[in-house]
Structure 1
Amino acid sequence: MTNALLRVKGLQLSYGGINAVKGIDLQVNHGELVALIGANGAGKSSTLKAIAGLLNPSAGDIHFANRETKKLPAYELVQLGLGMVPEGRGVFKRMTILENLQMGAYLKTDAKEIERKLEEVYSYFPRLKERLSQLAGTLSGGEQQMVAMGRAMMAQPKLLLLDEPSMGLSPIMVETIFDVVRSLSSSGMTILLVEQNARLALQMANRAYVMESGLITLSGSGEELLEDSRVRTAYLGE
Structure 2
Amino acid sequence: MNSETVLKIEGMKVAYGGIKAVKGIDLEVRQGELVTLIGANGAGKTTTLKAITGTLPGGSVEGAIAYLGQPLKNAKSFQLVQKKLAMVPEGRGVFTRMTIHENLLMGAYTRDDKAGIDADIDKWYGVFPRLKERSAQLAGTLSGGEQQMLAMARALMCHPTLLLLDEPSMGLSPIMVEKIFDVIRTVSQQGITILLVEQNAKLALEAAHRGYVMDSGAIIMSGAAADMLHDPRVRAAYLGEEEAG
1:197 is matched with 200
**C-alpha contact (below 8 Å) 1:53/1:77 kept by paired residues:** no
- Out of 128, 141, 146, the position equivalent to 1:143 is 146
**C-alpha contact (below 8 Å) 1:57/1:70 kept by paired residues:** no
* CA 1:32–1:2: 2 relative to 1, 3 Å: closer
**C-alpha contact (below 8 Å) 2:53/2:75 kept by paired residues:** no
2:30 is matched with 29
Letter in 1 for 2:135: L
**Deviates further, 55-64 or 35-44:** 55-64
1:105 is matched with 108
Note the alpha carbon deviations across 1:126-162, whole angstroms, 9 max, x for none: 1111111111111110010011011001111000000
Q: How many residues align?
A: 238
**C-alpha contact (below 8 Å) 2:121/2:157 kept by paired residues:** yes
1:44 is matched with 45
| SS of equivalent to 1:194 | strand
2:161 is matched with 158
Q: Quick check: 1:4 aligned with 2:5?
A: yes
2:20 is matched with 19
Query: Offset of 1:58 from its aligned partner?
Result: 2.5
| SS of equivalent to 1:24 | strand
**C-alpha contact (below 8 Å) 2:10/2:24 kept by paired residues:** yes
- Give runs of ≥4 in structure 1 deviating > 2 Å: 55-58
2:86 is matched with 83
Q: Quick check: 1:177 aligned with 2:180?
A: yes
* % identity of equivalent residues: 61
How many angstroms apart in 2 are the aligned matches of 1:2 and 1:137?
40
Q: Provide structure 2 residue ranges, at least 5 long, that are not aligned to the other structure.
A: none
Q: TM-score by structure 2 length?
A: 0.95
Query: Offset of 1:2 from its aligned partner?
Result: 6.4
Query: Offset of 1:73 from its aligned partner?
Result: 1.4
**C-alpha contact (below 8 Å) 1:39/1:196 kept by paired residues:** yes
Note the alpha carbon deviations across 1:11-42, whole angstroms, 9 max, x for none: 11111432111110000000000000000000
How many angstroms apart in 2 are the aligned matches of 1:57 and 1:83?
22
Query: Offset of 1:57 from its aligned partner?
Result: 4.4
Note the alpha carbon deviations across 1:23-80, whole angstroms, 9 max, x for none: 1000000000000000000000010111112126421010001211122112111111
Q: TM-score by structure 1 length?
A: 0.97
Letter in 1 for 2:173: S
| SS of equivalent to 2:15 | strand
Note the alpha carbon deviations across 1:165-193, whole angstroms, 9 max, x for none: 00011111111111110011111110000
How many angstroms apart in 2 are the aligned matches of 1:97 and 1:78?
20
**C-alpha contact (below 8 Å) 1:32/1:206 kept by paired residues:** yes
Q: Provide structure 1 residue ranges, at least 5 long, that are not aligned to the other structure.
A: none
How many angstroms apart in 2 are the aligned matches of 1:79 and 1:103?
13
How many angstroms apart in 1 are the aligned matches of 2:173 and 2:221?
29
Q: Quick check: 1:116 aligned with 2:114?
A: no
How many angstroms apart in 2 are the aligned matches of 1:80 and 1:186?
22
**C-alpha contact (below 8 Å) 1:33/1:185 kept by paired residues:** yes
